[in-house]
Amino acid sequence: MTEQTSAVELMYWIETRRWEREIGAPLGLFSGPHPARRPNPMRQRACRACGCTDDDCSGCIGRTGFACHWIEPDLCSACSN
């Protein structure tokens, strides 16, 4: 990485390293899902149960009275119970 690296490139690099640690193999050598199915750090995450996102957890607030937080990469605290 150079000093001229953009913030987007830096976030992509960080997310790629994180996913490599999770799967235990470099993404370039990983023979798992099609590259289009690999995690995209630019895509906003959503809860697998209720669909809330970082920008909109109004459904969780309506159900629990509180804003949720992330328990897993795709599961919010309101849906973890």
> Does the pLDDT at position 65 exceed 80?
yes
Better pLDDT: 37 or 66: 66
Specify the pLDDT at position 41. 62
> Does the pLDDT at position 68 exceed 60?
yes
Specify the pLDDT at position 54. 86
Query: Which long-range contacts link 38-42 to residues 24+ away (Cβ below 8 Å)?
Result: 39/15, 41/11, 41/12, 41/14, 41/15, 41/16, 42/8, 42/11, 42/12
Give the tens place of pLDDT for each residue, 17-60.
887 777 666 655 555 555 555 556 667 889 999 999 888 889 99
The whole-model pTM stands at 0.47
